[in-house]
Structure 1
């Protein structure tokens, strides 16, 4: 249990004697194809023929948005098309047959669709998941490894059928050795942990 606490605080090392199965190179689970709105996303809400009720909005942390005529509309967890239909329904009390388009312009997404990178990355951060994203894409986004990183002892924590599993990834082999077989796909919600080298 002590080793597990160390892993989750990104202070893992070979001293714990932990080893994980390699991350799957092909995924049976697939992420949804459509972008899901989350807190922090910015959008343009265009009500055709009614510019006075169109708006530029940033989704607040509670995930509910307000427009000039309708308030407290849930946005988080929906696609832009689903949100547009909900706004049309709400606006129909005030406007005859409203036509709404939601155009997303800034992407953060819900936490469940982010990839979190912690530990010895040049710029540890949470990234918005994109379809087909791989560990190489993630590492490019975070600026690669620090000089202190133990990249071949990195791991991915992933939820599989409601259970958390941990998989080994070989970042040194991929980034410094050019071994493309070490490049694996990531899924929404993955946490990539990069430990510090003890040497």
Structure 2
């Protein structure tokens, strides 16, 4: 399944243009090391400029000196600057703080996307926006993305490629619903999140079927549905003689299957001939 890039940009643009989104961005983003702040003090050009937060969470501001901002929101930084500047320097200072460059927080987008890698986490960044930054999904993407997130305060230093990691929360997202505009699937991301877009699940169907070969399946497919993908059984085939060859713990296992049995990604179905 390919998430069409125009859908991503359309949804992302609507979010960016929304007043509520802009207000939330200002209120919620937590500043950290290497973030670049754009600070404006109205009618004070000498106090207006860009300032990089250092590793210890501080930066140097004219008149004030070192200011600790790591862990604060933009609104909290504005309030602190107003308070400091009003203390003997300016009368009723008007201060505005924005993020010029997000560098302290990041996410990882891996799997079936066109440009996998680490990306800066913007304020209120959503799954759809992250996929857009990664160039959208590939043609081999399946119908599910998995978000693996560490416990609060323990952001991952690199992508978490297993959804069974201890102390991790796992969220599964249906990409079809996301593309259709489901807000419940367009989750807000956290620092250190890994978004893993799964490859489409495939099985192999051989033997007495009309169109043997490899087929993509969805989660929960049965043997009967797999046979339908392969055009059904031939006149010589028997729906009572079906075997599944499945890799279990590194070893191949042969299973006598019924039509209602579930198939798993990587299974090989073999439909045998009837006895008579």
**TM-score for both structures, normalised by structure 2:** 0.46
The one of 101, 114, 121 equivalent to 1:128 is 121
Residue 193 of structure 1 corresponds to which residue in structure 2?
196
In structure 2, relative to structure 1, the CA distance for the partners of 1:81 and 1:154 (3 Å cut) is closer
Whether the 8 Å CA contact 1:129–1:187 is kept in 2: the answer is: no
1:95: how far off?
0.8
Unaligned runs of 5+ in 2: 1-23, 154-166, 203-276
Residue 38 of structure 1 corresponds to which residue in structure 2?
32
1:195: how far off?
5.1
Residue 69 of structure 1 corresponds to which residue in structure 2?
63
The one of 112, 118, 142 equivalent to 1:151 is 142
In structure 2, relative to structure 1, the CA distance for the partners of 1:90 and 1:68 (3 Å cut) is same
1:79: how far off?
2.4
**TM-score for both structures, normalised by structure 1:** 0.59
Measure the CA separation in 2 of the matches of 1:151 and 1:38: 35
Unaligned runs of 5+ in 1: 1-30
Larger relative contact order, structure 1 or 2 (CA cutoff 8 Å, min sep 6): 1
Whether the 8 Å CA contact 1:36–1:109 is kept in 2: the answer is: no
Measure the CA separation in 2 of the matches of 1:105 and 1:134: 17
Residue 167 of structure 1 corresponds to which residue in structure 2?
171
1:47: how far off?
3.1
1:123: how far off?
2.0
Measure the CA separation in 1 of the matches of 2:75 and 2:123: 18
1:107: how far off?
4.0
1:167: how far off?
2.9
Measure the CA separation in 1 of the matches of 2:44 and 2:131: 44
Whether the 8 Å CA contact 1:85–1:100 is kept in 2: the answer is: no
- Superposed CA RMSD in Å reads 3.7
Q: Is the radius of gyration larger for structure 1 or structure 2?
A: 2
In structure 2, relative to structure 1, the CA distance for the partners of 1:84 and 1:135 (3 Å cut) is closer
1:140 equivalent in alignment to 2:132: yes
Whether the 8 Å CA contact 1:41–1:107 is kept in 2: the answer is: yes
Measure the CA separation in 1 of the matches of 2:72 and 2:152: 22
Measure the CA separation in 2 of the matches of 1:185 and 1:53: 38
Whether the 8 Å CA contact 1:84–1:102 is kept in 2: the answer is: yes
In structure 2, relative to structure 1, the CA distance for the partners of 1:130 and 1:66 (3 Å cut) is closer
